[in-house]
A and B are shown apart, each in its own frame.
Chain A
Amino acid sequence: GENVEQHPSTLSVQEGDSAVIKCTYSDSASNYFPWYKQELGKGPQLIIDIRSNVGEKKDQRIAVTLNKTAKHFSLHITETQPEDSAVYFCAASGRISGGSYIPTFGRGTSLIVHP
């Protein structure tokens, strides 16, 4: 089955710096890669996603890149702000269960942005 590795587990940056979180996946059949932001005590919120026919996608300060050959995808946050502090999860969607494709999640990255 699919295996998703996420690094780093913790990332501490100064406000205004950039933050990069990297994930690798194992199943070459995976074709959908969402990123979620989870604040303390809340459910994960989808912040950006990318499909396998695209190499890069950007939404304001957030961008995601995908290298299908190397099975890598990354989240880039520029000009970080304290409110970006949260746990970020990557996921790769390729496994089928109960007739549905379901995502396999990484273990999460705790991003801390210091003012």
Chain B
Amino acid sequence: GAVVSQHPSRVICKSGTSVKIECRSLDFQATTMFWYRQFPKQSLMLMATSNEGSKATYEQGVEKDKFLINHASLTLSTLTVTSAHPEDSSFYICSARDRETQYFGPGTRLLVL
């Protein structure tokens, strides 16, 4: 299957700093990428859908000014958590669509101290 990479895999930061997470589709071009957040022992919570070259569509309750998403190319999308706080600590997972199928990245564990 298709490969999606995510970087970094783990990040620890101080409260108030910003963190950028990169998501890349390695062997296909993805016009649509998705960002999810997952709490321990829970399902995947969709944060936003991003289409290459256009603004992301955020799910209800997700702050667009806090979670900045950029999808500048067909193989790269970034999620920036701005002014991170401890409650933003979570597992963030991106996915990229290849035709009808979504392929997920390995996830980024964010810990805000």
Residues in B lying within 8 Å of A, measured CB to CB: 1, 4, 6, 32, 34, 41-44, 46, 49-51, 56-57, 59, 93, 95, 97, 100-107, 109
CA distance A43 to B108 in the complex (A): 9
Residues A43 and B57 in contact, CB atoms below 8 Å apart? no
Residues B34 and A102 in contact, CB atoms below 8 Å apart? yes
| In the complex with contacts A98-B57, A100-B97, A34-B43 CB distance below 8 A | no
Range for the number of chain A residues in contact with chain B: 20 to 34
- Give chain A's interface secondary structure class: strand
B44 CB contact (under 8 Å) in A32, A42, A105, A110: A105
Stretch in contact with the other chain, from A13-21, A44-52, A73-81: A44-52
Residues A43 and B49 in contact, CB atoms below 8 Å apart? no
